[in-house]
Structure 1
Amino acid sequence: MLLVSTILLLLFIASSLYVGAAIGVLGASLSSLYSSLPLLRGVGEMAWGTSSDFTLVAVPMFILMGEMLLRSGLAEKMFDALDKWVGHIPGGLMHTNIAASTLFAATSGSSVATAATVGTVSIPNMHKHGYRPALFLGSIAAGGTLGILIPPSINMVLYGALSETSVSDLYLAGFIPGLLMAVLFSALVLVVCLVNDKLAPRKPRASWGERFRALWSLGPPLYLFMLVVGSIYLGWATPTEASALGVVGTFLYVVTTGKFSWDRLWTALEGTVRTTSMVMLIVISAYFLNFVMSTIGLTDIAVQAVGSLTWDPVYVMLAIIAVYLLLGCFVETLTLMVATTPIIVPIVVALGYDPVWFGVVFVILIELALITPPIGMNLFVVQSVRTSGAFRDVALGSLPFAAVMLCVIFLLLAFPEVATWLPTTYNAFK
């Protein structure tokens, strides 16, 4: 039954069937093949229950927040300010790319939005200052992946809803690994540029006066981060309520900086509706598939099959990671997360792993899929912003950063406390 399900899903995706439809058709096919009950009749109630889920209300809020930030001009000011602080380090603007991605990730919650925004601001400087394209473009694509690890994160909201895991705990768990990954990205750039100084020109060091004046431009993203994440952990708001606060805060920022216009607002709302509709169709289909699999006993079969193995849990986890690395090369990231979470999380929990810890590992695996060809979404985003040049540059430039992400996954396997310490400590003192 498990083999049939896997083959059917791969066939549907390979046939270019739309992702939401592919997952829904798989659920309907499994229902007609293995269930004596009319499970399809539950789709309407399930669609309504899923769409009105309080946790998932955060998804369109964070998408709208990212859409408004994308059009607000915040990224340009933030990029220039960060460049004053890190642009003189060997690697120059590549450190600025990573720092800007880290800060923008803490407000947008989207990897694609982060890569598109930072790429739009940064790529003209690549040509202007004579950077070698591969590593420079790789730093943008890889930096963009931080958008779904550093809170707030749309993907963590989806994982939390699908696995019934606390979104607040997931946000705390992703914070240290996200910052660690950003530091390791910059360390990689530093080492490579020290070995080969032709990859990046050296910039003059900004004065301390220029640096401190630039801090004013870093205020808005930090204010939005504290508004969203701070309100959650101060006990003022749930993650869903905090997402609404983020939208209000972003709107006030846009209005007070003179960037507001009805056309921009309409475009942001239109983009939000389009993206949210796509996401929710996939989520509803995934909930239906999860319902069918639970009813016909497929989830239990998968858990029992793994439980019957005599392997050590670590080896099983390594096998799961290897499968996701392979799938990430061919399956779009949102599909990979939504379609597999209901299947894999019960297996991971049965092995004795913490679902919050696995959520961080899972999100990093999803991030890897964003920068691994041939389907890596961030690679295409950066290439589209670039407008000219070989796609090969972006793909090759991202590979060293992918290796760093793999190292972080193995670090989390060896030291789970890197992810679990912060939520455990917070819950102990709450």
Structure 2
Amino acid sequence: MLTKTLLILIALIGLSVPVAAALGWLGLTLQYFDSPMPLYRAIGDIFWQNGTDFLLVAIPMFILLGEILLRSGITEKMYDGMSHWLGWLPGGLMHSNIGSSALFAATSGSSVATAATIGTVAISQVEKRGYNERLFLGTIAAGGTLGILIPPSINLILYGVLTDTSVPELYLAGFIPGLLLALLFMLSVIIACLVFRKWGGEAVGSSFKEKVRSLPGLIPPLAIFVVVVGSIYTGFATPTEAASLGVVAAFILAYFNKALSLDMVREAVEGTMRTTAMIMLIILAAIFLNFVLSVIGLTEQLSSFINDLNWSPLQTMLMIIAFYIVLGCFMETLSMLLTTAPLITPIVVGLGYDPVWFGILLMVLLETALITPPIGINLYVVQGVRGRGPMSDVMAGVLPFIISMFVMIGLLIAFPEIALWAPSLFY
């Protein structure tokens, strides 16, 4: 049954059926052939109960937050500030791409939004400063993936909802791995530019006075980060309320940036509605699919299959990691999270692993899927922003960063405290 399910899903996605429709059709197909009951009659109740979940309100709020930052010009000033502070490293503005992505990720919570935003600001610098274009594009695509790991992350919220795991704990657990992964990306750039010196392009030098003058451009994203995350851990707000506070703070910053206008608000709201509608439809279709999989007994079959292997917890975890890496080559990350987390997490917890730790490991695996050909969505986002040349340039450019992600996965397995130390201080 598991093989049949995967084959049907891969076939639907291969036929370019939209993800939400693919998940919904898969659920309807499985219930038709494998369920003794007409499960489709539960769709209305499932959609209503889950669509009104208070925690999911945070999703459109974080999307709106990113839209406001993008359209108010705050992101451009942030990128300029990063270029002054990181541009002296071997690789120049490629480090600014990664640093800006990390900072923007700490406000938007979306990998696609991060890659699109930083790409729009940065790509013009490739020819201007003579960078290796493939590696430069790779830094944008890989840097964008930080949006689902560094809090506040939409994907961490969804994982928390699907597995009944504390979102504040997940947010705390994501800090150190997120920053460490950003540093690994920067280390990859440094090594590449030291080995192939021409790849680093023109050096970007800034005086101390110029660096100080650029600091105001870095303050707005940091301020929003403090508002959102600080309000959660001081007990002032829930994650959903914190997202709303972030939107209010973004409007205030847009006003002081002299970018707040009726047209800007309209464009930000329209962009938010389009993205939210797509994400919510995928979420609800995936929840219906998970309901079907549970009723027809696929969850128990998968658990029994893994138990019958009699492998050690580490061997089983390595198999799960390999499964996600292969699946990430053919499946979009959000649908991966929504369809697999409810199935895999109970098995992982049964092996003795912490669900918070697994949530962070899963985010890194999803990040890998974002830049793994042929379905890696960040590859298409960066190529779309670039608007020219072959797609193979972006695919080649992300290879060093895929290796960095594998290193991060190994570090999380060898040293779980990387993810669990921060939550242990508060919980």
Normalised by the length of structure 2, the TM-score is 0.97
Distance 1:243 1:204, change over 3 A: closer
Q: How much does 1:229 deviate? A: 0.7
Q: Say whether 1:352 aligns with 2:340.
A: no
Query: Which residue of structure 1 aligns with residue 406 of structure 2?
Result: 406
SS at match of 1:368: helix
8 Å contact kept, 1:108–1:114: yes
Greater mean deviation of Cα atoms: 399-408 or 289-298: 289-298
Query: Which residue of structure 1 aligns with residue 41 of structure 2?
Result: 41
Greater mean deviation of Cα atoms: 411-420 or 37-46: 37-46
Query: Which residue of structure 2 aligns with residue 160 of structure 1?
Result: 160
Query: Which residue of structure 2 aligns with residue 16 of structure 1?
Result: 16
Separation (CA, whole Å) in 2 of partners of 1:268 and 1:311: 50
Greater mean deviation of Cα atoms: 332-341 or 167-176: 332-341
Q: Structure 1 stretches of 5 or more lacking a match?
A: none
Query: Which residue of structure 2 aligns with residue 104 of structure 1?
Result: 104
Percentage identity across paired residues of the two chains: 55
Query: Which residue of structure 2 aligns with residue 279 of structure 1?
Result: 279
Separation (CA, whole Å) in 2 of partners of 1:193 and 1:8: 44
Query: Which residue of structure 2 aligns with residue 229 of structure 1?
Result: 229
SS at match of 2:124: helix
Q: Say whether 1:83 aligns with 2:78.
A: no
Separation (CA, whole Å) in 1 of partners of 2:9 and 2:114: 30
Query: Which residue of structure 2 aligns with residue 190 of structure 1?
Result: 190
8 Å contact kept, 1:88–1:202: no
Q: Which amino acid aligns with 1:54?
A: F
Query: Which residue of structure 2 aligns with residue 133 of structure 1?
Result: 133
Equivalences for 1:205-284 in 2 at 5 Å?
205-284=205-284
Query: Which residue of structure 1 aligns with residue 294 of structure 2?
Result: 294
Query: Which residue of structure 1 aligns with residue 52 of structure 2?
Result: 52
Q: Say whether 1:395 aligns with 2:395.
A: yes
Q: Which amino acid aligns with 1:269?
A: V
Greater mean deviation of Cα atoms: 414-423 or 344-353: 344-353
Greater mean deviation of Cα atoms: 287-296 or 211-220: 287-296
Show CA shifts across 1:174-219 (max 9, x none): 1100000111111111122122211113425322122122112111
Show CA shifts across 1:60-86 (max 9, x none): 111111111111111111111111111
Runs of 4+ in 1 over 4 A off after TM superposition: none
SS at match of 1:308: helix
Q: Say whether 1:384 aligns with 2:402.
A: no
8 Å contact kept, 1:105–1:151: yes
Equivalences for 1:110-149 in 2 at 5 Å?
110-149=110-149
Separation (CA, whole Å) in 1 of partners of 2:182 and 2:168: 21
Normalised by the length of structure 1, the TM-score is 0.96
Separation (CA, whole Å) in 1 of partners of 2:11 and 2:137: 33
Show CA shifts across 1:369-407 (max 9, x none): 111111111111111211222222211111001100111
Q: Structure 2 stretches of 5 or more lacking a match?
A: none
Separation (CA, whole Å) in 1 of partners of 2:350 and 2:307: 7
Q: Which amino acid aligns with 2:415?
A: F
Q: Which amino acid aligns with 2:100?
A: A
Show CA shifts across 1:392-425 (max 9, x none): 2211111001100111001101111111111122
Q: How many residues align?
A: 427
Query: Which residue of structure 1 aligns with residue 315 of structure 2?
Result: 315
Q: Which amino acid aligns with 1:11?
A: A
8 Å contact kept, 2:74–2:257: no
SS at match of 1:230: helix
Quote the RMSD (CA, aligned, Å). 1.4
Distance 1:270 1:355, change over 3 A: same
Q: How much does 1:90 deviate? A: 1.3
8 Å contact kept, 2:286–2:335: no
